[in-house]
Amino acid sequence: MANDDIHLTVEPGEIHALLGENGAGKSTLMNVLYGLLQPDEGEILVDDKPVQIRGPRDAIAAGIGMVHQHFMLVPVFTVAENVMLGAEQTTGGPIGFLDRRRARKLVREVSDRFRLAVDPDRTVEDLPVGVQQRVEIVKALTRDVDLLILDEPTAVLTPQETEDLLEVMRTLKAAGKSIVFITHKLKEVQAIADRITVIRRGRTVGTAAPDTSEEELASLMVGRSVLLRVDKPAVEPGAAVLEVAGLAVNDDRGHRAVDGVDLTVRAGEVLGVAGVQGNGQTELIEAIMGLRPVVAGRTTIEGRPTLGLSTREILREGVGYVPEDRSVDGLVKDFTVAENLVLDIFNTEPFGTRWVIRPDAIAKSARERVEQFDVRTDASGQAAVGTLSGGNQQKVIVAREFSRPLKLFIAAQPTRGVDVGSIEFIHRQIVHERGQGTAVLLVSSELDEVLALSDRIAVMYRGRVIAVVSPDTPREEIGLLMAGVTTEAAGVKDGHTDD
């Protein structure tokens, strides 16, 4: 059961934050409100009147709109075309020409009224993510909704874009709209919410005021007190382990994604790479791992060139790798936990040889890892990994990579979509590994994570490292760097007009 006895009341003109870990049931609840799922028990009241919501159409009729985490936009359509999609109006009688003019006018009106700054004639795929999100909001508003559900809206935004979004939310609130704001980011909740409802394991565990401290909110979410800061003992960094020089890499479409990057990661240090998603971080790491062809430059591990080596050979050099997208690149979901725990070492002793694998050894090791890394699954490790929660899936990957001696550990978004408890655990493991003298390259779009773990921070923007700064640098400054505003140009205010 994903939702069990949930109570939620949203007042008119209120920003109501719905806070909970991944898998706590936030999305399920919202899908019920939006008619995508039917409740087994209980009722939904709009303006004190019970309503039946059998689908999104009913929801919109009841004045409920939703902005999904995954945008429901047609990339090649213009903003106006996207907005009228599903509610097309026509002229010209039975032949029915699409009335684009009216759609454009509507978009302009709504956009002006709520200060959304959306141009109806732009093609959606050309717009930055933050603007695409505003298109979704416009879409909902043109359907005359009173309650807007925003499902994890800030997950894909830069700090600046997040600021803009919060401003939009304030405007909507001033216009009398109610907003349900789903998130697991405590800072944003404190910044904007009027009231906070916390959900844990499908139940509402409490309603809190926005001045509740981060620690209190976190412990409400997780059900116990959590360590938000990472205790990081000082380690004297050793020799350079990974060196990247002049690296240039293309993305899947053949555009230059990494454009002359130089990096050094030393033993016993965490080098954090901060940057908005899509600025070349993914390609950089894939190139280092031998997963993507390199156009120019070189990479060395402990002085030995690794370009041209296969991924398996690079892993065998003592490199651990947590890929960015665990469900696509990290795990074989239909394989058991045990099989996934040996996905890159199944043909080495003691798990197997060149020719055969040893299921007994694999199962035995799985039982140990499951316990050691606190993976919540049946102790034998024989469940399909796809049945585990996101946090536990991630622990399986981390357990796999940490189960052999490492020189270099590369982690991309190691805690994305992972609950607070697992984040804490994974962070501790990374710090522990650093203490063992492993060089760590951490890529994360969560600035907080980069700040908490890193000894040095490299900021990537449009395929280049535009600055390497200390983790004591103020958030705002790093935020500006992430938007491409370097120190000398920091006076220019509008630094994020594109990308």
Q: Where do contacts with other proteins occur on this chain (CB under 8 A)? A: 1-2, 22-23, 25-28, 31, 36-37, 69-71, 129, 152, 155-156, 277-278, 282, 289, 291, 310-316, 321, 323-335, 339, 343-344, 346-347, 352-357, 359, 384, 386-387, 389-390, 413, 416-417
- Do 394 and 326 touch, CB atoms closer than 8 A? yes
d(CA 84, CA 242): 51
Q: Which is nearer to other proteins, 36 or 98 (CB)?
A: 36
Which helix (H) or strand (E) is 186 found in, with range? helix 186-192
Least separation in angstroms between CB 470 and other proteins: 28
Amino acid at 108: R
Least separation in angstroms between CB 209 and other proteins: 27
Q: Which is nearer to other proteins, 393 or 429 (CB)?
A: 393
Q: Which is nearer to other proteins, 31 or 160 (CB)?
A: 31
Least separation in angstroms between CB 358 and other proteins: 8
For the chain, what is the largest distance between any 2 Cα atoms, rounded to a whole number of angstroms? 77
- Using a 10 angstrom Cβ sphere, with 0-12 exposed, 13-18 middle and 19 or more buried, the burial of residue 82 is buried
Least separation in angstroms between CB 250 and other proteins: 17
Least separation in angstroms between CB 315 and other proteins: 5
Q: Which is nearer to other proteins, 179 or 289 (CB)?
A: 289
Q: Which is nearer to other proteins, 106 or 319 (CB)?
A: 319
Least separation in angstroms between CB 49 and other proteins: 26
And the tokens for 405?
A: 């001696």
Q: Which is nearer to other proteins, 417 or 484 (CB)?
A: 417
Least separation in angstroms between CB 203 and other proteins: 14
Q: Which is nearer to other proteins, 240 or 357 (CB)?
A: 357
Starting from the edge strand earliest in sequence, which strands make up the sheet with 256-266, in order?
A: 256-266, 240-250, 294-301, 304-305
Q: Which is nearer to other proteins, 23 or 381 (CB)?
A: 23
d(CA 277, CA 379): 36
Least separation in angstroms between CB 343 and other proteins: 4
d(CA 463, CA 279): 5
- Pairing status of strand 49-51 against strand 195-200: unpaired
d(CA 348, CA 350): 6
The secondary structure of residue 78, as a DSSP letter, is B
Cα distances (angstroms) measured from residue 330 to each of 140, 278, 372, 384, 451: 35, 19, 20, 14, 25
d(CA 299, CA 410): 14
Amino acid at 142: T
Cα distances (angstroms) measured from residue 80 to each of 97, 187, 286: 15, 34, 37
Backbone dihedral region for residue 494 (phi beyond 0: left; psi -120 to 50: alpha; all else: beta)? beta
Q: Which is nearer to other proteins, 36 or 226 (CB)?
A: 36
Least separation in angstroms between CB 475 and other proteins: 21
